[in-house]
Structure 1
Amino acid sequence: MSHPSSLPAHVFAPYLEITTPYMAPNLEALAKQTRSPYFTLGFLMGGGNCHAIWGTTGIAATAGFLHQEIEALRRGPAPGDVILAFGGGSDTELAQHCSDSELEAQYQSVLDAYHATAIDLDIEGEALFAHNDSIEKRNHALAALQRNPRNKGVAISYTLPVGPYGLDDPTFPDKETFTQVKHLLTDTRNQHLHLATVNFMTMDYGDYPLHRDMGQDALRAATSVHVLLQTLFFSSTDPEAAQHAWAMLGITPMIGRNDALTVLAFGQEHHLARLSMWSLTRDRACSNQAEFEHHKETPDSQASTVCSDNVSPPWQQPSPYAFLMCFRVFTRL
């Protein structure tokens, strides 16, 4: 039996990458150390078949991995919780490999195994373009889960790509992706799937164009997609439609050159549903420029895979978890 969502209405839940089977993160200790008790754990994926596993670990989602750590976090002195994230930047998203009934069963098995209160579907890359109606199949399975009384109160959200001008920049080279994102969201409405949050990845926009102002881009993108959410999900006659749409919106910046204080202030001003960041495991300054350069996501990227790239002013990161320390005040219990 799943529990009703224990997430606050406005929550900061940074991503924590689960990449090794040998060292489960001590979530309770991390929450105590950082005074930030909510985390997004990713990613649960298909591994090339219709069986949910934890990313590259190969561990089945129903094998009990992380169960004790999650329960300890929930019972801790400052009780917290997790969002279980499916998908990610991978071609092994479950809906690409499952039938309709199998997909619903896989989601349900994860909900049951972790007494999950919140799940997220991070859909990007190939998962947006799968040729087996995976968008419709996924929404159908999630809507069925939501109708099941045993899942009452479980929060369901999507995490989706966006451009620096939202989803309507005709010059952006990946505009086909944004067409699919709009299709996905329209289909959730058509299938009567209630989304607690739509979380947009306001982050490293590839190499278009180089050296963007990532903080201002995040605000510009969020303002644009807010209009879309308001139009799609709320009546034009609702006087509070704009407020409701802000309360449905989440944003996830890439830590580093993102002007964290500006992003935080925007989230607080508009009472967003969620603020996250990619990712907690990168929340430290690079040792030197060479480390940053060696671990860049792409040759032209402003993002490193192992650190925040804060190696020189004005991006000097004073201590580990500095971005978390900035964003954590967004959570309101």
Structure 2
Amino acid sequence: MRRAILALSLLLGFTATPAQAATTRYEAENAAISQGVVESNHTGYSGTGFVNYDNVTGSSITFTVSAPQAGQATIALRYANGTTANRPMTIAVNGGTPTAKDFNGTGNWDTWATATLTATLNAGSNTITATATTANGGPNLDYLEADVQQPTNDYQAEDATLSQAMVATNHTGFTGTGFVDYVNTTGGYVEWTVTPQQAGAAVLAFRYANGTTVNRPLAITVNGGAPVAQDFTGTANWDTWATIQVPATLNAGANTIRATATTANGGPNLDKLSIGGGDGQPPTAPGNPRVTGTTSSSISLAWDASTDDVGVTGYRVLEGSTVQASPAGTSATIGGLAASSTHTYTIVAVDVAGNVSPPSAPVTGTTQPGSTGPGMAVAPYKYAGWGSSSTPAAVMSATGVKWFTLAFILSDGTCNPKWDGTRALTGGTDQAAINAIRSAGGDVVISVGGWSGTKLGEKCTSASALAGAYQKVISAFNLKVLDIDIENTEWASATVRQRVIDALKTVKANNPGLKTVITFGTTPSGPDSTGVDMITRGANSGLANDVWTVMPFDFGGHTGTMGAATVSAVEGLKARVKAAYGYSDAVTYAHIGLSSMNGKTDDADEVVSLTDFRTMLAYAQEHHIARLTFWELNRDRACGSGGDLNACSGVSQQPYDFTKIFAQYTG
């Protein structure tokens, strides 16, 4: 089963307009799970996976959802049940009396259905718990959605602050106790103080009458901002009322909305202001839907924007009747798909009032075939400075890996790159190793930096000079991928970090198709303040870095297994990259990676076991991260008597056991 999604959104409307509802989704994989696991081994789910209940009574998923105010909600649980037996559950809101709900078979585990019920939510935070009531456990849960009915919100004109205007009752059809009649002069106004139930986009709906044939325009201002000119044309007579809608953005708390007459005729008669509702016209259908890219597990779409009389607030991408994405803009990537699978989507637009457009024309895409072996994501580090490593061809034959990360390029004391700072860039044993790897059908990532030695980022005193040094390496070996392993003194300098980012922007611009990797240390919970700064600098500078990679070891203290600590660190990295770049979850995972260390690390309390590597592999397979590698290939063997940990792992293993685990990753 997957994370449940609860959709809660706010719409405020006219007193005479029925309450409306909007939807927000909460994925099951993000909920609190008791006796269940997140999986992705079936197709058709949304988000990054689904939740599979353990086959036991009492297994449960608890969603925490926030309602803007108390009220009735329709709760929908999307599920799959590939058996013929009902898998009933109870649904409890805020620990109250549980409601029994059937979850009957859906034909197979790739076919999803929706079970709905009605519940009362409190204002603020609520918990919704779905608990299995039989030994079969619950169904697979994809997400939870809830539609919350919201009340209307009207502000009578006669209760507002008036200038050169007066309250009158000499015409019929008004609401409340009267209406406001502007004096026939420029500058008269009606000013309301309104408090919406949530901040954000809103519709200002002015109910008015204009018994003349002459337009009586008003300037609408919100919180003293720039005025918006709005026409208030004739309504045939003073007893006939019409509504004008103006889009606006409101703050949390009190807001002032002023309607000022701009001609000597004054304004129209104003009855009331309503916030949020009253818009019954849906947007136009999105145009020209198209596939813009595919991977083995995702399809990227784009479309032309819809138009609306008030304003489009977002879109929904549907596969059949199932919402697969809800972007604010005109593009989306749908992840978690099976390789070589075909999917057909339509797109609808949604406006401020919750009106939904007609669907776009259908658009069909097919994911790419799955990889038959590890690609550049699995490129273990190989260092020529120690250890008696096997030939690359032997490693490739024994493990199936095709890529290696060769370390390290350093400064020769100037802004000039050399292997380890001493060996010539070309013509020596390092180039011979690269030639051998490529002759055997493989390729290399070259890593610049590392912990020790003199760094190019410090010796090259400008971004252009540093880019020139990087370019020498790229050109010498016709590189497809460049890794910047930024550590120690290079990492500690904000000036150098910015220089590295600016230099990478230059080489990416000068080498179309070049992939760049930035690798750095981490805490068990993700990047520290320096790491966050590096990612933020990259985003703010416009660096389209391909992979942000953390080294989840040498923590200086951790709890639990190194596998669990690694997952926690990479999830922390994911959160930081997503926040900085604004990617979706699927796109963020495709821009992050990990570089572990096999066996004993430099910290006495750290041993990265084969089991830990399997944990990392499972995480990578679930989220399709961009890099899954480790330090260091020469260490991927057991130690002999008194073995040097630079040349062995320090744990019991067969040769290349660690490499063989990561070699199972196909992206």
Please, what TM-score do these two structures have when normalized by structure 1? 0.78
C-alpha contact (below 8 Å) 2:595/2:630 kept by paired residues: yes
1:59 aligns with 2:423: yes
Q: Deviations over 1:165-196 (max 9, x none)?
A: 213xxxxxxxxxx2222222111112222111
Query: For residues 212 and 42 of structure 1, what CA distance do their matches in structure 2 show?
Result: 30
1:102 positional shift: 2.1
Q: Deviations over 1:233-276 (max 9, x none)?
A: 125xxxxx001111111111111233111111111111111100
Does residue 74 (structure 1) correspond to residue 438 (structure 2)? The answer is yes
The alpha-carbon distance between structure 1 residues 18 and 145, as it changes in their structure 2 partners (threshold 3 A), is same
In the aligned structure 2, how far is the partner of 1:274 from the partner of 1:251?
Answer: 6
Partner Cα separation in structure 1 for residue 456 and residue 567 of structure 2: 31
Q: Could you tell me whether the CA contact under 8 Å between 2:404 and 2:444 is conserved in 1?
A: yes
In proportion to residue count, which structure has more helix? 1
Specify the code of the residue in structure 2 equivalent to 1:278: W
Counterpart of 1:228 in 2: which secondary structure?
A: helix
Q: Which runs of 4+ in 1 moved over 3 A?
A: 7-10, 23-26, 62-65
Match of 1:181 in 2: 531
Aligned: 1:272 with 2:625: yes
| 1:215/1:260 contact within 8 Å kept | yes
Q: Does 1:14 align with 2:14?
A: no
Check if 1:307 corresponds to 2:648.
yes
Q: Which has the higher contact order (CA 8 A, sep 6+)?
A: 1
Paired residues of 1:28 and 1:69 also in contact (CA < 8 A): no
Give the match for residue 526 of structure 2.
166
Q: Deviations over 1:267-315 (max 9, x none)?
A: 1111111100111111111225x54xxx5xxxxxxxx3332121xxxxx
Give the equivalent residue in structure 2 for 1:118.
481
Matched, 1:191 2:541: yes
- Map of 1:155 onto structure 2: 515
Distance 1:115-1:263 versus aligned 2 partners, 3 A rule = same
Alpha-carbon deviation of 1:91? Answer: 4.8
Measured on the aligned residues, the alpha-carbon RMSD in Å equals: 2.4
The answer to whether structure 1 residue 128 and structure 2 residue 491 are counterparts is yes
CA distance in 2, matches of 1:306, 1:88: 18
1:223 paired to 2:223: no
Are 1:233 and 2:581 counterparts?
Answer: yes
Equivalent in the alignment of 1:298: none
Which deviations, in whole Å up to 9, do the C-alpha atoms of 1:111-170 show, x marking residues without a partner? 110111100100111111237x1111111111111111xx11111110011011213xxx
After superposition, give the CA deviation of every residue in 1:74-125 in whole Å (9 maximum; x if it has no partner).
Answer: 342xx22111000001251101001223211111111110111100100111
3-state SS in 2 of match to 1:120:
strand
Match of 1:30, as an amino acid? V
Partner of residue 501 from structure 2, selected from 139, 142, 160: 139
Contact in 1 for aligned 2:548/2:593 (Cα 8 Å): yes
Please give the secondary structure, in 2, of the residue aligned with 1:185: helix
Letter in 2 for 1:164: P
Q: Closer, same or farther in 2 for the Cα pair 1:129/1:17, shift >3 Å?
A: same
SS of 2:550's equivalent in the other structure is strand
Q: For 2:568, give the aligned amino acid.
A: R
CA distance in 1, matches of 2:493, 2:479: 27
Q: Which residue is equivalent to 2:597?
A: 254
Contact 1:95 1:137 in 2 (8 A): yes
Q: For 1:39-95, what per-residue CA distance to the aligned partner results, in whole angstroms no more than 9, with x for missing partners?
A: 111110114321111116x1122445533432342342xx22111000001251101
Aligned length: 284
The unaligned stretches of length 5 or more in structure 1 are 1-6, 168-177, 236-240, 296-303, 311-315
Of 197-206 and 65-74, more deviation after overlay is shown by 65-74
Q: AA paired with 2:538?
A: T
1:64·1:113 contact (CA, 8 Å) conserved in 2? no
**What secondary structure, in the 3-state scheme, does the structure 1 residue paired with 2:663 have?**
helix
Matched, 1:244 2:587: yes
Contact 1:215 1:263 in 2 (8 A): yes
Using a 3 Å threshold, how does the CA distance of structure 1 residues 62 and 323 change in structure 2: closer, same or farther? same
CA distance in 2, matches of 1:40, 1:31: 13
The AA in structure 1 aligned to 2:659 is L
Shift of 1:204: 2.8
The 3 A distance-change label for structure 1 pair 278 and 201 is same
| Pairing partner for 2:638 from 275, 285, 291 | 285
| 1:325 and 2:660 aligned | yes
- How far, CA to CA, are the matches of 2:538 and 2:390 in structure 1? 33
CA distance in 1, matches of 2:435, 2:514: 16
The equivalences for 1:83-122 within 5 A come to 83-100=445-462, 101-122=464-485
For 2:131, the equivalent position in structure 1 comes to none
- The code of the aligned residue for 2:504 comes to L
Aligned-partner SS, 1:331: coil
Greater share of residues in strand: 2
Report the CA distance shift for 1:129/1:201 in structure 2 as closer, same or farther (over 3 A).
same
Contact 1:157–1:198, Cα closer than 8 Å, also in 2: yes
Aligned-residue identity in percent:
30
Q: Structure 2 counterpart of 1:329, which letter?
A: Q
CA change 1:39–1:10 in 2 (3 A) is: closer
Q: In 2, are the aligned partners of 1:9 and 1:273 still within 8 Å (CA)?
A: no
Task: Provide the secondary structure at the position in 2 that maps to 1:330.
Answer: coil
